Structure formats: structure tokens, C-alpha cells
Amino acid sequence: MRKIFRGAAAFATAVAAVVALGGAAQAKPADETPWYGCPAGAVCIYGQGVAPWDDPHPTNAYYSYGAHNLSNQLGDHWVLNNQYGGASASLCNGYGGTNCTETIPQDQGVYRDLTPVNSITLNRP
């Protein structure tokens, strides 16, 4: 039990440190390779509280431009934008890509509470 508590405490400390630094994942090199399991050309969402570098298996991957409605994405998640050609992604509080509140540039990631987020858009450059 002590091992589990130590592991949870270490994870919480690491997450707090990353969030304190602005909540952005370190940018990856600009090329067309997978990034922590997120395929080239995709925007990926990881499980609640999962660090991509510890468990590089996204739960959702989106490839096509436009809006994608989310479901059952509650709490804090990493969202990585591994698109290329300057494409961005936006987190939107409304369905169908409406009321977008944050844009994630290419090769960037954010750790955000997705509870109020109902859709994500992949934006052409």
C-alpha cells in the first residue's frame, strides 16, 4: 500500500510541477513521427490523469479537420497536437466546435480539465 501511495504522490507532484510551468508539454521536434504514442498527423487525448511519457497510449486520436464532439472526457487530461504543416487544434465548450476557448499550436500539448470541453477542432493552417 505504501508503494501505491508513494507512486501516486510522485505522480501528483510531477503533474503539479508541469501545471505550475504553464501546463504545456515540451514541444517535440518538427517532423512526422509519433509523439508519446500519438501518430503523426493526429491530435490525441490521453486518459484522465495519465502522463503520455509514462503511458504512451492515447484513448482518442483525431485525424480529420473540423469539429469532433467529445463524450465522457471528465477531469484533467493531456491533449497533444501532433499535426504537421502548421495545423492547430482548439478546445471548445460547445458541441460542433462552438465557443472555443483555447488553441493548441502544432507540436504542443496541454494538460487541461476537459469537463467543460464538449468538442475539439482540428484547424487547417
pTM for the full predicted model? 0.76
**CA of residue 58 relative to chain centroid, distance:** 9
| Domain ranges across the chain | 24-123
Shortest CA distance to 51 belongs to which of 88, 23, 22, 87?
23
The predicted structure's pLDDT at residue 115: 98
Which class would CATH give 24-123?
Answer: mainly beta
Cα–Cα distance, 21 to 5 (Å, whole number): 24
Q: Is the pLDDT of residue 16 over 50?
A: no
pLDDT band (50, 70, 90) for residue 34: confident
Q: What is the mean pLDDT of residues 44-51?
A: 97
Q: Is the pLDDT of residue 11 over 80?
A: no
Higher-pLDDT residue of 31, 58: 58
* Span 69-125, pLDDT tens digits: 999 999 999 999 999 999 999 999 999 999 999 999 999 999 999 999 999 999 999
Q: Summarize the chain as % helix, strand, coil (round to 5).
A: 20, 35, 50
Q: What is the mean pLDDT of residues 35-45?
A: 96
